[in-house]
Structures are given as structure tokens and as C-alpha cells.
Amino acid sequence: MTSTTRRNFLALAAIALAGSGAAGCSIAEGAGDVLTGSESSETVAPLEKSRTLVAYFSVPETNDPDNMTEDEANSAHVVRGKVLGNTQYVAQIIGERIGAEVFRIETAEDLPLEHGSLEDLALRQQEANARPKLKALVPDLGRYDNIFIGYPIWWYDIPKPVYTFLEEHDLSGKNVILFTTHGGSRLSGTDETITQKLSDSTVVRNAFTISRDDMDNAEAEVGDWLKSLGQ
């Protein structure tokens, strides 16, 4: 571990604040209050962009920006005529702001885009404690010291493909920073779940979570959060 990495590690380890909630939520990405963790005045050392990765899981339920159903609109945000999943949009903002590489977590099998079918699949996977096979893993993970991990809240939990991601990558010694989108349940305790799961990593407790109803303000909210991290 380099001296720069040690400084990042020690600074990240100092953060101890996060928000979590238990309000209801389906698989849809996004609703409810925004929680940015900006109440914390603690900061982290500047992240070296070449050593930082933004990994995210996101499922926009359509590619068509026109005539969206309510469920489709809840799952996505349109940017310059292109449909992005809510979590995808946040990931791209983070990547652009700090100059980090961005990696999309995708399942080997295509997920259904029809809302009811996707919701049912997510619930079945949760009940079976499934670990869906991923399309690809992060190549050369050892290059990165800092990993942002983003996901929507599905059935009050982390989507099962993200569990697969966490278990199939060795994140020991990494600094892990979480961000989520939700439909009313905020972090839903997932920050605690990941902290326990990644006991050999430093999981920053100043996590970011944003409602699907607040996506128009995502750039400002993400910017404030990154400033609260010292970035």
C-alpha cells in the first residue's frame, strides 16, 4: 500500500456518519427525502482518479425517452434525449466530477424491462437468496484503491446482482463509498449490510441516497455530497 493510499485509508476510516431508513420501497429506483450525509463535516483525502472506480447497477425500464409509462419514468432519467437509469445517471455524475473510471454491473442474462416482471424476478431472487451470474467482472481490480458502489433499493435490500459483485471481487483493503437511488426507503440499512459484509474494507459511512422524484436536482445534490467528502 503506498503512502498516498495509507493517507486515503486513514482519512476515510474517520468518517462515521450515514443515514438509513426503513420506509417502504418496491424495486423502482428513486422517491422520498434526499439524504446526502452532508451533515458530516469530516472529509477524505483527495481521491486519485486513476486509482478510483465507480461501479454501479441500474435497470432503466425503457430505452425510449418518449411516451414513458409511470413505472418507466420512475426508473429512468432522460439526459439530452438519452435514457439513463437513475443510478446510472448518478454514477456518471460522480465519474465526471472526480475523473474516475465507471463500470456497469450487468447480469449474464438480460433482465426483463416490463416493470411487473422485473419486480417479480427481483422478489424471487431475494426469497431464494440468489446470486445471479454477472456478464463480466472488473478487470485488474488491484489497480483501484477507492471503489464507489451504486445501486437502487429493491425490496428494501441490495439487488442480488450487487451481492454477486461484492462476493466475486476481493475488496479487502479498499476504501468503499456507497450511493443509492430509492423509491421511499432511503438506504434501507444496506450501508450496514455492506459494512458487515466487507469487514476487511473501509466502508465510508457518509453514503449518498437520492429519491427518484429528485433526479432533476441530482447534479447539485451529488456535488454537495462530494464536497462533504472533501472532493
Residue 58 sits in a domain whose CATH number is: 3.40.50.360
Residues 226 and 33: their CA atoms lie apart, in Å, by 18
Q: What is the pLDDT of residue 169?
A: 98
Under 8 Å CB-to-CB from 187, ≥6 apart: which residues?
18, 19, 20, 21, 35, 153, 178, 180, 207, 209
With cell 486515503, the residue in question is 8
DSSP 83-100: EEEHHHHHHHHHHHHHT-
Is the pLDDT confidence value at 68 over 50?
A: yes
Q: How many CB atoms lie within 10 A of CB 109?
A: 9
pLDDT grade for 47, boundaries at 50, 70 and 90:
confident
Closest CA relative to residue 56, chosen from 11, 36, 86, 27: 86
Is the pLDDT confidence value at 204 over 90?
A: yes
Q: What is the pLDDT of residue 7?
A: 40
How many domains is the chain built from? 1
Range of the domain at 29: 3-228
Q: What is the pLDDT of residue 49?
A: 82
Q: How many CB atoms lie within 10 A of CB 136?
A: 10
- Per-residue pLDDT, averaged over 26-41, amounts to 36
| Highest mean pLDDT (candidates 24-33, 121-130, 175-184) | 121-130
pLDDT grade for 26, boundaries at 50, 70 and 90:
very low
Task: Dump pLDDT digits (tens) for 186-197.
Answer: 898 999 999 999
Greater confidence, 101 or 10?
101
Give me 124's grid cell: 424471487
Which of 14-28, 40-54, 110-124, 125-139 is predicted least confidently? 14-28
